Amino acid sequence: MHLYKEWVKLLQEIGPGKMMTTAYDTAWIARLVEIGEPIGELALEWLRQNQLEDGSWGTKELYYAHDRVISTLAAINALVRRGRAKDRPLLQRAETALEQIIKDLDKDPAGDTVGFELLVPTLMYEAKALGGIHYQNYDFITKLIPYRSAKLAALPKKTINRHVTTAFSSEMAGFDNKNLINIDELQEVNGSVGASPSATAYFVLYLNRQESLAIKYLREIAPQGMAPNVAPFDAFEPAWILWYLILTDLDTQLLDLCQPHLDHLQQGWHPEKGIGFSTIYTPKDGDDTGLVYKVLTHFKREIDLKAVLHYESVYHFRCYELESNPSVSANIHILDALRSAGLEEEHPSIQKILNFLKKVRISQTFWFDKWHASPYYATTHMIISCVGCSDEIIRPAVEWILKTQNADGSWGYYIPTAEETAYCIQSLAICKQYGYKISRKTLLQAKEWLQNHTEPPYPALWIGKCLYCPKLVIRAAILSALVLIEKI
C-alpha cells in the first residue's frame, strides 16, 4: 500500500459523509410504504434479508444490547405495520430474541445509545399495541421513565424544535405526544429533522404528511431504502480525517488538498458556539468544536477560542447545552484544543478537565465515553492529548494498552478490529516519540496485523441512536497509524 497515494485518494473522497447502513433508521424508512413511497418497499426487503442469526436486528459483528433492542423494536414495528403473512416467522424469532437481549442491557460497558430512554418506551408500547410482541415484564421500561421525564422537563418551553438536540429523536413523541413538537420550527434547511433519517421519516408520516422537502431528503440519503444513522455529517467527517492527518506530519505535503475542507469547516464555524457534526444541524457541540478548533488553528486559520470556552461549566466542559451526563471524549478534545491554544497545564480550565477525567477513569486506568462502544477510543485520544504534558495521568493507560494487546498483534474490546488497533498504534507510536519505552516488536506485530485488515467493512463501534460506522473516518485512522509506525 502506498500510504501517500491513499491519503490523496481519501482527501479527494471527503464529502457529506459516508456511513454504513443501520437497521434502526432503515426500519423507519420502511414505514414509508404507508404513503406509497418506493424506497419504503426497498427498506422492508432489506430488513427481511438482514435479520441476524439470533432473530434480532442491529450491528452483526459484535453484540451490544442497546443497539439490538432499539433496532429490533424498530424493525418489528415496521414489519407488523405492513401486515404480511410471510413476515410472521421473522417476527416470532425477533420477539424471542428481544426477551433475551433486554436482560443484557446492564452489561453494555459504554451505557445507553443516544435517546434510548426517550425512544424505547414509545417503540415498546407501539409494538405491544400492534401485537408485534407479547412481552410482559416492563421493569426496564419503568426504570427509563424518570430519565425520560427529566429530559422532557428540561426542554425550553417544554417543546421540541430544531434548536434542541431532542429533535434528533423526535420520533419519541409517537402518536400520543405530538403536542411536544413545534412542527413549524422543526426542520433544518435541507428538509431533515435533526439530520436524522428516522426522525425525518416520522415527520413525513405522522406530523406533516408527505412534506416534499423532507421526502426529497430521504430519497437522496436512502435511494435504495438503506439509511445511515445521520446524514449529512459534513463537519464531523473532514474534521476527524484532518485530525488524523495532523498526527502523521504529512499535512504540509497535502496542504492544497486540505484547503477546501478547511474552508468548509471555517465557513460552518459559529463565532459564539463553534460547530456541530453537520453544518446544517442547528445545535452546536463542544466535542466537534474542540476538534475543529484544533484542526483549523493547526492550519493557521484564525478563529476565536471563545467558542470552545462557551462549553465550560462548573466541574467539566459540556458537549451539548442540555445533556444529562458529560462526555469524556468532549472533555478530551477540548483539552487538546486548549493546549493547542497555548494554555498551560496550570490554567484553571485545563485543571478542571484533568480533575474531571481523573474522577471518571475506570479502575484509575482507562476511559469509556458515551459516543463510542470501545474504551480504546477515549483512552488513546487522552494519551495523545496529554503525552509530554500530563504524563502521570496517562501512564497507567499506556500500560493497560500494552497489556491488552492480543497475541496476534491486534486490539479489540469485543473482537479484534482495525479501528481499535489503529488507535492503539497511534498512541503508542506517539508515546515512543516522547521517550516512552515502547517495544518496537509490539508495534511491528500490530503493524503486520493491521496491514492484513485494512479493508472494510469495519464493525460499528460509534454510538448514535444505534451503533454506526463512519467509513472514511476509520480509513483515516488506519492510514494514520500505518504512517506513524513507519517512522519508528
* Final residue belonging to a domain, choices 168, 194, 221: 221
Is the peptide bond preceding residue 89 cis, with omega within 30 degrees of 0? Answer: no
- Residue-level pLDDT at 488: 83
Assess whether 214 and 260 both reside in one domain. Answer: no
Residue 193 pLDDT class (50, 70, 90 cuts): very high
Assess whether 103 and 249 both reside in one domain. Answer: no
Give a yes or no: residue 4 inside a domain. Answer: no
How many structural domains are present in the chain?
A: 2
Write out the residue range of the structural domain in which residue 127 sits: 23-221
The model carries a pTM of 0.97
pLDDT tens, position by position, 165-176: 999 999 999 998
- Residue-level pLDDT at 322: 81
Residue 140 pLDDT class (50, 70, 90 cuts): confident
* Final residue belonging to a domain, choices 193, 221, 249: 221
Residue 70 pLDDT class (50, 70, 90 cuts): very high
> What percent of the chain shows pLDDT beyond 90?
92
- Cβ proximity of 371 and 463 under 8 Å: yes
Assess whether 198 and 291 both reside in one domain. Answer: no
What CA–CA distance (Å, rounded) separates 49 from 90?
10
Give a yes or no: residue 337 inside a domain. Answer: yes
Assess whether 214 and 246 both reside in one domain. Answer: no
Mean pLDDT, residues 368-387:
98
CATH code of the domain covering residue 275: 1.50.10.20
What CA–CA distance (Å, rounded) separates 117 from 112?
8
Assess whether 293 and 153 both reside in one domain. Answer: no
Residue corresponding to grid cell 459559529: 270
What CA–CA distance (Å, rounded) separates 478 from 488?
16
DSSP state of 109: T
Give a yes or no: residue 478 inside a domain. Answer: yes
- Cβ proximity of 334 and 290 under 8 Å: yes
* Final residue belonging to a domain, choices 186, 221, 256: 221
pLDDT tens, position by position, 240-290: 999 999 999 999 999 999 999 999 999 999 999 999 999 999 999 999 999
- Residue-level pLDDT at 58: 98
Assess whether 128 and 184 both reside in one domain. Answer: yes
Q: Which residues of 473-484 are buried (b: 16+ CB within 10 A; e: fewer)?
A: bbbbbbbbbbbb
Residue corresponding to grid cell 425550553: 156
Mean per-residue pLDDT over the chain, rounded: 96
CATH code of the domain covering residue 151: 1.50.10.160
Give a yes or no: residue 243 inside a domain. Answer: yes
What CA–CA distance (Å, rounded) separates 254 from 232?
25
Give a yes or no: residue 475 inside a domain. Answer: yes
Give a yes or no: residue 12 inside a domain. Answer: no
DSSP state of 409: S
pLDDT at residue 206 greater than cutoff 90: yes
- Residue-level pLDDT at 433: 96
**Between 153 and 262, the higher pLDDT residue:** 262
Phi, then psi, of 98 in degrees rounded to 5: -60, -40
Assess whether 297 and 379 both reside in one domain. Answer: yes
- Residue-level pLDDT at 324: 82
pLDDT at residue 234 greater than cutoff 80: yes
What does 219-275 look like in DSSP terms, one character per residue?
HHH-TTS---SSS--TTHHHHHHHHHHHHHT-TTTTHHHHHHHHHHHHHT-BTTTB-
pLDDT at residue 321 greater than cutoff 90: no
Is the peptide bond preceding residue 457 cis, with omega within 30 degrees of 0? Answer: yes
Assess whether 217 and 240 both reside in one domain. Answer: no
Give a yes or no: residue 6 inside a domain. Answer: no
Assess whether 74 and 200 both reside in one domain. Answer: yes
Residue 99 pLDDT class (50, 70, 90 cuts): very high
Assess whether 267 and 336 both reside in one domain. Answer: yes
Assess whether 207 and 101 both reside in one domain. Answer: yes
Give a yes or no: residue 230 inside a domain. Answer: no
Assess whether 163 and 253 both reside in one domain. Answer: no
pLDDT tens, position by position, 285-307: 999 999 999 999 999 999 999 99
Q: Which residues of 203-235 are buried (b: 16+ CB within 10 A; e: fewer)?
A: bbbbbbeebeebbebbeebbeebbbbbbbbbbb
What CA–CA distance (Å, rounded) separates 420 from 407?
15
